[in-house]
Structure 1
Amino acid sequence: MKHTAPDAAVTAAPARDPRRWWILGALCLTTLILIVDNMALSVAVPALAGDLHASAQQIQWILDSYMLVFAGLLLTSGSLSDRFGRKRIMVIGLTLFGAASLVATIAADPAELIAARVVMGAGGALIMPAALSIMLNLFDAEERHQAMSAAGAVGMLGLIGSPVLGGVLIDQFWWGAVFLINIPIVIIALVATLTLVPESRGPWRRPDPIGAIASVVGMVALIWTIIELPRGGLHHGSTVAALVIAIVSLIAFLVWESRIDHPMVPLRLFRDRDFAGGSIALTLVQIGNGGLLLVLTQYLQFGLGYSPLKAGIAFLPMAFAALVGNAAGAGLGSKVGPRMLAVVGMLVMAGGALMLAGLTADSGIGMISLALVVLGVGGGMASPAAVTAILGAVPPEQAGVGSALNDTIQQAGAALGVAVLGSILTTAYGHKMPDSASATARKSIGDALAEAAHGGDSGLVHTAREAFAGAMSVTFGISALGVLAAAILALLTLRGTRPGQVSAPYQGDISAADHSESRNDVSDSDVSDSSVRVATATVAVE
């Protein structure tokens, strides 16, 4: 690993754009629509399924098509933002997302809605890495943690508040309103982006079409495999075929990228402890908490009898606690550094997961709310700190593809978490149901309660709820172990330089030619000399 000792003459921080916090608001707004749309859609499925007469398979495609396209295109779109301009790519992404949302609003059949969701996935893939890379270039190391904390707080509000918003929109209007709400947000985000956000690019590099194709095919096949695993395991030929395609494509991608002179993805970033260790730690967090909403939503609705709207409201304490955690982290970030914040936050999250593991069929909302508050505070501290450490290792000229690589790893971790924890929950529930229960009742708690309602069997209701609570305890216990492993990994891998001690991000074999060819159309807050930008990009802290 190389570390460039920054010259005192070039380490003066670039002038801060006086509009940077307004620009951050615009960037948060662009990413917020992605979270709001997907989470609000989760409560709209029953309504749109009935209105569009969609089959179970079509509903699956409505939900999964977005994730497949989004995850598959992230790396390519990150590379495009570095090449053609991050602001330009984000504007294109917002336009695609808004236009597709309009089509989804007026969709007359499942096929139209699926097509709209595919385009929305492409737009989202263009938006996410571009927005994060602009943020990375806009804020210096001293302020980057506060910016990441603010973005994390907005994201958490969107994550928790979206199901509530979706429930209100469906109650008052119709399922199309969850897409219609995107359009005014997109318009505001477009205006803010065009008027406030500075343009920036990375150095010119040769196109890498082979790497782009291999990454798209590999990531789509991988996410598809993860989605399908809980439904049929490896017994289905299509799942096995997707897994083989994913493995072959991703291995080919890694081999190709490691051998060409101008790779689309700088694999050398993984030689940096902050980037590699932080990425793996965040992936473990995503796996550990990936099924949180899925499992708890079932518990609240099937176990406690909550409506979808009331279940969404039950998650609000977690959102407000995350705001507290973000605020605390933003204040402490420059003092104790991202490593300790990430480790402490993850340990707090593990404690929250253990509290959830102690829930029983008779536990009330009080214990759930307390556990969610603990999880929210921990997540509010840990995630921005870990992302700050990871992105601090990315050279500014490769901010787009570096951000996309981080997003891709986390997307795969989140999808894997839902698949793995969902499978554990289903398996544990089946094992905890008595042998005397029917095969249908042993399949899921929803099926068991439906069977009990049809036959008037109150004993089956109690048995199913006890079995589900026991299965949930196992699931959250494993989740806690995953987050604890992430905390240990972050402690061992993230570097521990102190505030004010400059540590340039890993530069590997970035050539002087790359720097001299850097093209930046930036505002007066940016610096055109990329060598200065690299030298002052990050202050790694403990």
Structure 2
Amino acid sequence: MPTFTSVQRLVVAVAVLASFVTFLDGTVVTVALPAISRELGGGILTQQWVVDAYLITLSALILLAGSLSDAYGRVRVMRIGLLAFGAASVAVAAAGDPLVLIIARAAQGAAGALLVPSSLALITATMRGEVQARAIGVWTAFTTGAQLVGPLMGGVFVDLLSWRFVFLINVLPIAVNLILLARLRLPEPERAVRVDWLSGVVCALGLGAVVFALIEQERLGWSTPAIWMPAAAGVLLLALFLRRQARARHPLLPLEMFGVRNFGWGNIATLFIYAALSLNGFVIGVYLQQGAGLSATAAGLASLPVTVLMILLSSRAGAWAGRFGPRLFMTAGPLVMAAGALLLLTVGGEFDYWWQVLPAMLVLGLGLALTVAPLTSAILGAIDERRSGIASAVNNAVSRVAGLLVVALLSTIVGGALDLDGFHSAAVVTAALFAAGGVVSWIGIRRPPREN
């Protein structure tokens, strides 16, 4: 197994910590949603918006952030993102009503957009081949672990202190990463990329309008002008965004990159897989409290087996994918996760975690560990390292948009209420999305040529 130099170890540590805070805040909120709703009101609509306000700005601006990373330097962009994320986190914790909370969450997502592409770009720009595959495996293990351990940490804070402290968890990793960044000496790229600010604004407005319509249509109905007009405007803006990307000299979303086989097919697989992961995480975090009656801490503990398996196996899976190619892992892993999601159909009125949930978590964890590092490595390894910032931004934008849309459609998926029937409906949809990701990977992914 390839080993890291001291500089590469520092790069991996910086990349992991930078992404850790964004992934953690994306999932730590799930177990806090019932407590937020009880204190601030708003029911399932507030819960959806607390999640999606973060994902809208993260998804829409991550492409812009990828260009900024390539244009102004990964370290510089990451430092700004860390400082802004810390400030927005404090604003979230201090929010006194749903509107302020949602606005602060949107600001958090905007700051988080600066962190993810620049962190992965540090790895892909400084390492190639099996070393890069292993580094991505380590990055994947800890950042995905952050997504999975987030509900546990959030549950402890909700039960022992307050949901507000959930959003202050990231203060320590932000401080540590700022210190590590000061020690990292890497050549920054010359500014060769012109940043298309207008496209970033158009993309953000289009996504926001579409998601607003998807969330609010359950309450107001599609025939209401307040729904169909934003939906139509959002679709039009997104169409204009794609048209501009096809003609722009320095696009935020270089459409020709999707002509690279592993990049194009890998991002389609990402769309299905991360939609399933987001749906599964949201539903389990909320249902185990509101439906099964568990405490926030117990609901967070439910996904701990997935976290353990990710940390134990992801780095090795990344190294195996570098040696044997990613196709087998990207096919088998999602199919295993689909089986795990179907095991959640055993959850019944008489709730028993050990027989109804734990087996599903173990199977989901195994499949996830086999999938994520090979998926990331296949996609980013297909693109020249000089475009690593925008490549990682596109892939992360796809995964966040997947989560954004599936949470926006939550009421439709669960039939309006997250009761036992709604939970089972979500499990079936989750399994179908995972299976689609596996099939797409088998059809489209090929083993890249070995580096000399």
| Structures share fold, TM-score greater than 0.5 | yes
Runs of at least 5 residues in structure 2 that lack an aligned partner in the other structure: none
User: What is the Cα deviation at residue 351 of structure 1?
Assistant: 1.7
Matches within 5 A, 1:509-524: none
Q: Does 1:145 align with 2:145?
A: no
Aligned partners of 1:105 and 1:47: how far apart in 2? Answer: 13
1:324 paired residue number: 312
Q: 2:7 aligns with which of 19, 40, 64?
A: 19
Aligned partners of 2:194 and 2:282: how far apart in 1? Answer: 43
The structure richer in helix per residue is 2
SS in 1 for 2:115: helix
SS in 1 for 2:250: coil
1:478 paired residue number: 429
Deviations 1:193-221 (A, max 9, x none): 22126353376133434433322322333
1:67 paired residue number: 55
Q: For residues 332 and 98 of structure 1, do their structure 2 counterparts lie closer, same or farther at Cα, with a shift above 3 Å needed? A: same
Do the aligned partners of 1:82 and 1:398 also contact (CA within 8 Å) in 2? yes
User: What is the Cα deviation at residue 395 of structure 1?
Assistant: 2.0
User: What is the Cα deviation at residue 26 of structure 1?
Assistant: 1.9
Aligned partners of 1:423 and 1:197: how far apart in 2? Answer: 50
User: What is the Cα deviation at residue 492 of structure 1?
Assistant: 1.3
Aligned partners of 1:205 and 1:378: how far apart in 2? Answer: 38
Q: Does 1:405 align with 2:394?
A: yes
Q: What amino acid sits opposite 2:440 in the alignment?
A: L
Q: Does 1:371 align with 2:360?
A: yes
Aligned partners of 1:490 and 1:59: how far apart in 2? Answer: 33
Matches within 5 A, 1:264-275: 264-275=252-263
Q: 1:395 aligns with which of 381, 384, 397?
A: 384
Deviations 1:62-100 (A, max 9, x none): 444322222221111111111111111111010111122
Q: What amino acid sits opposite 2:293 in the alignment?
A: G
Q: What amino acid sits opposite 1:386 in the alignment?
A: L
Aligned partners of 1:338 and 1:106: how far apart in 2? Answer: 44
1:248 paired residue number: 236
Runs of at least 5 residues in structure 1 that lack an aligned partner in the other structure: 1-14, 428-442, 446-467, 503-535, 537-542
Aligned partners of 2:246 and 2:410: how far apart in 1? Answer: 34
Work out the number of aligned pairs and report it: 448
Do the aligned partners of 2:28 and 2:147 also contact (CA within 8 Å) in 1? no
Aligned partners of 2:418 and 2:100: how far apart in 1? Answer: 31
Q: Does 1:383 align with 2:383?
A: no
Q: What amino acid sits opposite 2:445 in the alignment?
A: L
Q: 2:276 aligns with which of 278, 281, 288?
A: 288
Q: 2:91 aligns with which of 80, 83, 103?
A: 103
Aligned partners of 1:258 and 1:213: how far apart in 2? Answer: 17
Q: Does 1:260 align with 2:248?
A: yes
2:212 paired residue number: 224
Q: For residues 219 and 165 of structure 1, do their structure 2 counterparts lie closer, same or farther at Cα, with a shift above 3 Å needed? A: same
SS in 1 for 2:349: coil
Q: 2:73 aligns with which of 59, 64, 85?
A: 85
User: What is the Cα deviation at residue 45 of structure 1?
Assistant: 4.3
Q: Does 1:488 align with 2:428?
A: no
Aligned partners of 2:169 and 2:287: how far apart in 1? Answer: 29
Do the aligned partners of 1:102 and 1:183 also contact (CA within 8 Å) in 2? no
Q: What amino acid sits opposite 1:94 in the alignment?
A: L
Do the aligned partners of 1:29 and 1:185 also contact (CA within 8 Å) in 2? yes
Q: Does 1:276 align with 2:226?
A: no
Aligned partners of 1:405 and 1:126: how far apart in 2? Answer: 13
Aligned partners of 1:156 and 1:74: how far apart in 2? Answer: 18
Aligned partners of 1:270 and 1:89: how far apart in 2? Answer: 25
Q: For residues 260 and 298 of structure 1, do their structure 2 counterparts lie closer, same or farther at Cα, with a shift above 3 Å needed? A: closer
Specify the structure having the higher radius of gyration (Cα): 1
Aligned partners of 2:323 and 2:258: how far apart in 1? Answer: 27
Deviations 1:489-508 (A, max 9, x none): 1111112346xx34xxxxxx
Q: TM-score, normalization: structure 2?
A: 0.89
Aligned partners of 1:333 and 1:86: how far apart in 2? Answer: 26
User: What is the Cα deviation at residue 393 of structure 1?
Assistant: 1.9
Moved more, 24-33 or 178-187: 178-187
Q: What amino acid sits opposite 2:359 in the alignment?
A: L
User: What is the Cα deviation at residue 301 of structure 1?
Assistant: 3.1
1:169 paired residue number: 157
Aligned partners of 1:124 and 1:360: how far apart in 2? Answer: 38
Q: For residues 54 and 194 of structure 1, do their structure 2 counterparts lie closer, same or farther at Cα, with a shift above 3 Å needed? A: farther
Q: For residues 199 and 230 of structure 1, do their structure 2 counterparts lie closer, same or farther at Cα, with a shift above 3 Å needed? A: farther
Aligned partners of 1:135 and 1:309: how far apart in 2? Answer: 34
Q: TM-score, normalization: structure 1?
A: 0.75
CA root-mean-square deviation? 2.7
2:404 paired residue number: 415
Q: What amino acid sits opposite 2:200 in the alignment?
A: A
Deviations 1:462-505 (A, max 9, x none): xxxxxx25x4334323322222221111111112346xx34xxx
Q: What amino acid sits opposite 1:183 in the alignment?
A: V
Do the aligned partners of 1:325 and 1:378 also contact (CA within 8 Å) in 2? no
Q: What amino acid sits opposite 2:361 in the alignment?
A: L
Matches within 5 A, 1:23-62: 23-47=11-35, 53=40, 62=50
Q: Does 1:234 align with 2:222?
A: yes
Aligned partners of 2:280 and 2:326: how far apart in 1? Answer: 25
1:353 paired residue number: 341
